[in-house]
Amino acid sequence: MKRNYVREPLGEMKTMYEAYNEAMVELAKKNSNIVLIYGDFARGSVAELFQKDYPDRIYDFGIAEANVVTAAAGLAGGGKIPFTHAHAIFTVGRAYNQIRQNVAFDRLNVKIVLCATAGVLVPFMGGSHQTIEDIAALRVIPNLVLVSPADPVETKKITRAVAEYVGPVAIRLSSSPVPTIYTEEYPFELGKAVILLDGGDATIIATGIMLVDSLEAADILAKQGINVRLLDMHTIKPIDEKAIISAAKETGAIVTVEDGSIIGGLGGAVAEVVVENYSVPVKRIGIRDRFGQSGTIDELKKEYGLTAQDIAKAVKEVIEKKKSSR
């Protein structure tokens, strides 16, 4: 199967936060309105540059996530482009009202970076920090765009696009190193899903860190004579309804893959589009009404049914449902 925009073999392992910081250094030099706000989170590779060259464009509030978002709203009201940084669990848990009332309600130009603990695949942090509910909680807030990059290349492209977009955006960044999937030539567009594979037997719709496992699942299936379409749904809101409806009509079965809760998450969003427009079998791979727990990435994937083998199995199940419904 031809892989669109995918490196052969996959490239270097790198964290999304590292790639994000590299993009922020580039953007800061070009746009003097960009400011960075931190709430008890490491500044990473931008620290030296900003502290030395832009001391009036970097703020640290400590453990005060609600204040971080409120201050960002004020800065945005004054014409700045603030990027906030805090653990995802505390941004969603402690600053939800501020995101809703102070930022999204007035559609202020604030960029909320969900750092390190977005999703369940956070090794050793445990259920208190693994944010399984971030997609569900944030996608119901009007005016708020929600994006979830899959690799370092896409992280940089998303960061640049988000800086140019006028309005509130939340960016999910996983903490673990991920392989570089995309070539630099890949044409990113906010709100438009990317077709990595274009098989006709079923469709896998993945987001974020789970895209690489979905690629592996597609390889497993191809060896068994099953060719899938693979969509990278990097923009969860606004979701690419056109791509979902086309997948439903042209492949007849869909599996969604995410590292968060399937209740109200990507799986829920896709199911809503499918049931209202072109009903086909849908199976959701993700967290099933459970909290996270400590473990390695591989252990967590196995425990929560997030492995490539689990995805491949789900594809075969929806294909069987498709056949039986004919």
pLDDT score at 136: 98
CA-based torsion, 37, 41, 43, 44: positive or negative: negative
pLDDT score at 325: 78
The strand pair at 178-179 and 13-14 is best described as antiparallel
Residue for token pair 């807030």: 141
SS3 29: helix
The strand pair at 58-60 and 111-115 is best described as unpaired
pLDDT score at 130: 95
pLDDT score at 88: 96
Identify the architecture of domain 13-179 in CATH.
3-Layer(aba) Sandwich (3.40)
Range 162-184 average pLDDT: 96
pLDDT score at 129: 94
Range 87-112 average pLDDT: 97
SS3 140: coil
Residue 100 — pLDDT band, cuts 50, 70, 90? very high
pLDDT score at 50: 84
What are the φ/ψ torsions at residue 33 (nearest 5 degrees)?
A: -85, -10
pLDDT score at 77: 97
Catalytic residue selected from 65, 133, 154, 258: 65
Please state whether 244 falls in left (phi above 0), alpha (psi between -120 and 50) or beta. Answer: alpha
Asked if the model's pLDDT at residue 52 lies above 90, the reply is no
SS3 166: coil
pTM, rounded to two decimals: 0.97
Range 269-275 average pLDDT: 98
Q: DSSP assignment of 243-302, as one string?
A: HHHHHHHHHS-EEEEEEEESSSSHHHHHHHHHHHH----EEEEEE-S-------HHHHHH
What are the φ/ψ torsions at residue 79 (nearest 5 degrees)?
A: 100, 0
SS3 185: coil
What are the φ/ψ torsions at residue 265 (nearest 5 degrees)?
A: -85, -150
pLDDT score at 48: 82
pLDDT tens digit string along 110-143? 999 999 899 999 988 899 999 999 999 999 999 9
Q: Do domains 13-179 and 194-324 have the same CATH topology?
A: yes
CA separation for the pair 138, 225 (Å, rounded): 39
Domain ranges of the chain: 13-179, 194-324
Asked if the model's pLDDT at residue 323 lies above 80, the reply is yes
Instruction: Show the tokens assigned to 307.
Output: 């492995």
Asked if the model's pLDDT at residue 51 lies above 90, the reply is no
Query: What one-character DSSP code corresponds to residue 225?
Result: T
pLDDT tens digit string along 187-217? 999 999 999 999 999 999 999 999 999 999 9
List CB contacts of 52: < 8 A, sequence separation 6 or more. none
Query: What is the overall mean pLDDT for the chain?
Result: 96
Q: Which amino acid is at 114?
A: L
CA separation for the pair 131, 116 (Å, rounded): 10
Asked if the model's pLDDT at residue 272 lies above 90, the reply is yes
List CB contacts of 24: < 8 A, sequence separation 6 or more. 34, 36, 46, 83, 159
List CB contacts of 81: < 8 A, sequence separation 6 or more. 31, 33, 34, 35, 109, 111, 163
pLDDT score at 315: 98
Identify the architecture of domain 194-324 in CATH.
3-Layer(aba) Sandwich (3.40)
Q: Is 164 labeled as catalytic in the residue annotation? A: no
Asked if the model's pLDDT at residue 1 lies above 80, the reply is no
pLDDT score at 125: 85
What are the φ/ψ torsions at residue 92 (nearest 5 degrees)?
A: -75, -40
Range 172-199 average pLDDT: 95
pLDDT score at 37: 97
